Structure 1
Amino acid sequence: MISSQVGGGAIEARLTALDAAVDGLLGDALSGLSNDDIVEVLQRMETSLRKATTVGHQLIVESTERMTPGHLG
């Protein structure tokens, strides 16, 4: 778990909310969606996934600049 000191706990709260949102979507009955709803959900998911990938890339750059892989062996 990330220290609550990180970003004043903001990052931990965001990650917790992200986990809860994904878990919620996994449990949703998507078969009840209309065709228009499915398209909208797909578009919004694509946007969210691209943003999440960007955050992942930023973390990789940050860890590389700090030489974190070398420090962890």
Structure 2
Amino acid sequence: MICDATATSPCVGVCELDQASGFCRGCLRTLQEIARWGGLSLGERRMVKSSLAERRCAVAAAPALVSGA
């Protein structure tokens, strides 16, 4: 069996929601994305992970987007 890395959770164990942005300071998911993760299809997980890559770029450009990150 081949393991598809896109199916793994992006959680990094820093679970704190930034009230201003609505993103987790660790993985940059929204509370809704975190809550729904277990029930998402592989395609939906890939879409969330794609969004996270874009959020990481935005946070790198404007670190205040997620305070404390």
* TM-score relative to the length of structure 1: 0.44
Structure label with greater radius of gyration: 1
* Structure (1/2) with the larger helix percentage: 1
Higher relative contact order by CA 8 Å / sep ≥ 6: 1 or 2?
Answer: 2
Q: If the length of structure 2 is used for normalisation, what is the TM-score?
A: 0.46
